[in-house]
Structure formats: C-alpha cells, structure tokens
Amino acid sequence: MKIQHPVYYGDYLQLPKILNAQATESAKYGSAAHDETLFIIIHQTYELWFKQILHELDSVREIMQKPFVPSTDLSVINARIERVTTIQQILIDQIQVMETMTTLDFMEFRDFLVPASGFQSLQFRLVEATLGIKAHHRMEVEKQFFTSRLNSDDRKKLEETENKISIFELLEAWLERMPFSHFEDFDFWGEYSEAVDKMLKQDRDIISKNPGLDEKMKSMELKNLDLTQETFNTLLDSNRYEEWKGQGKVRLSQKAMLSAVFIYLYRDYPALQMPFRILNSLVEVDEKFTTWRYRHAIMVQRILGTKIGTGGSSGHEYLKSTTERNRAFIDFFNLATFLIPKNMTPKLPDVLKDQLDIVYDSLRS
C-alpha cells in the first residue's frame, strides 16, 4: 500500500479544534473564572470516554446479535468489556482532579451554567440504555426529570437506543442457549437441590449446637436459614420464580439464571472459563458505575452541600438515590446467593465432563 500523504500529528488529532473548545461562560460576563477551564476539560474528557465506551459496547452488541456466537468471539467480547472497566476506573480517578476545585472556586462561575447539568449528557444515557437500563426500569419522577432536560433531538436518539436490544437482553438469550445443565439421564438440578438441603442441614446443626448463641439469637438465625431455603426453592420452581420476576426481585429469566449458576459452579472447566469471565466482567461494569455515581455524589455534596444542582435536582441526595437503583446486572451480583461449597457440588457424568474439558461453541439456534 502506497501512502499518499504524510500525516501530521496535530492535524490527525484535530488539536486546533479540541484545544480551542474550552469557551468559558464566565468570560462573557467579565473576567474568566480560573477553575471553569478545569470544569470544562473534565466534562469534555468524560464525554470522550463515554464515546469510547459506546464504541466498545456497540461492538459487543453486534457480535452477540448473531444467531450463533462462536467460542472464538467470546474472548473478543470479554476483552472489550474489560477495556470498558479500565476506562471506568479512569472516570472514577478523574473525580480526584475535580475535587481540587473548592466550593468558592465553583461559585465564581456556577450561576452562569444554569440550567445545564450532567442530566443532559446524552452519551451517558445511551451507555445505560445499551447495557440494559431502559425507561421502564427507572422511577417515574426520575424518568420525567432527566428526559425533560434533553432537547428533542437527544430525546429521539435516546428513545431509538432504548428500542434496540440491549446487552442484558442479548446475554439473557445467550445464557438460555447454554446446554450443560440439561443432559439426558442426568438430573443436575435434582442433585443440586439435594446438595442444597445437605448444606442447609449442616448450617442448621451448627446454629442449633452453637453454645455461644442464646435462644433468641438461635431462633433469629434459624428463621434466616428458612428464608435462605425459600430462596433456593424459588430458584428451582418456575411458577414461584415468575412471581419473583413480576415483583421486580430478578430480571433474568429462570432458564438464564440457572445457566449462570451452573457456569459459576463449574467455572474451572475450560469451556466455562470464558463465559464466567464475561459474566464477571459485566458485574465489574455495574460495580464501577455504582462506585463512580457514589463518588460523584460525595463530590457534589462536598462542593455544593445541600444546594440544588444546576439542573434543578436535589443535588447529592438525588445522585445517591441512583447509585443502587440503576444497575443492569444486579442479578449476577446476587448469584453468590445460589452457590454451594465445591465439595458439595454434584459430580458431573464423564461424558459431560469431557465436553466441558474441550472448546465450547454455544448451541446454534
């Protein structure tokens, strides 16, 4: 290939355009506030990283939309999700730079920004929607609050993304195609249920015979154990699981959840190592966005106190409330609920172990 024209560094990166994109509002009203440049650059950098995150997530979604996902693509999916988590750590660390700005520094230009706010970050909303947080997952007051602050073009783009299939939905369908927990002449979930009963019986004996617990504490712990038993029973009962789902306690289908539990229990087998890493990476995506939201909320409280945010929200209180609620992969966090000790996991038939010991391609639909 013959290169036609030499490339100049500044032209390639369009540096004149980027480095001249920090127009301070405060300068329009007199002298420019010193820290407003930092404020702009921090948020521009966030938006650039959001663009890269969307680039990675869109590629993952494209791969997973195929009716057949070959095992060779699983490492690509995981590598791109891991890149997202690495970027997320940068987003978290950038808050430390923002915190070098004091309350008085911010007050020099804050009023000039109204009503602009982070609520108008279309790209972040696109990231959430791509992962699987759609409008119907949000509280009504939250949905109305931030959508009303987007202009009509951005609202349309967000609605288009929310109408596309999300990574959560694609992952659910992929898990539902997993074949390993269903095998002829092998009732895995029956044996799993027996192992759970054995584990809980041991726990019950430990509590009952613990001399350090008085009767009141024993009774309380035994009741908690009954609730744990109920949780396992619900996992294995399709009707009760659907009730759970209807109540919003889980989002994954029962079939997908059972496959995820199986992957976590037998993740040491070569065929399940990459599926496990993908699920674990998505848990980290949720964890890092949760950490970022919380750090952001604490930073806002540190700088604003209890003042109303520039976008009209209740400031840090609102941001804290979204920390736990807006998580796409909370079901994978809760998988630990259904895990049992390795020495109690059902022994797999040799023919199934042989399959798990070799490269696995998900079933063709």
- Give dist(CA 38, CA 173) in Å, integer: 44
* pLDDT at site 317: 62
Q: For residue 322, what pLDDT band results from cuts at 50, 70 and 90?
A: low
Per-residue pLDDT reduced to its tens digit, 169-209: 999 999 998 876 666 778 899 999 999 999 999 999 999 88
Tell me if 9 is assigned to some domain: no
How many domains does one find in the chain? 1
Q: Mean pLDDT throughout 346-363?
A: 76
DSSP state letters, 76-138: HHHHHHHHHHHHHHHHHHHHHHHTTS-HHHHHTTGGGGTT--GGG-HHHHHHHHHHT--GGGS
pLDDT tens-place string over residues 99-124: 999 999 999 999 898 877 777 889 99
Residues 272 and 314: their CA atoms lie apart, in Å, by 45
Domain that holds residue 132: 33-356
In the prediction, which pLDDT does 319 show? 62
Question: What is the C-alpha separation between 77 and 61, in angstroms, rounded?
Answer: 9
pTM, two decimals, is 0.89
* CATH number, residue 333: 1.20.58.480
Q: Is 4 within the bounds of a domain?
A: no
CB 320 within 8 A of CB 294: yes
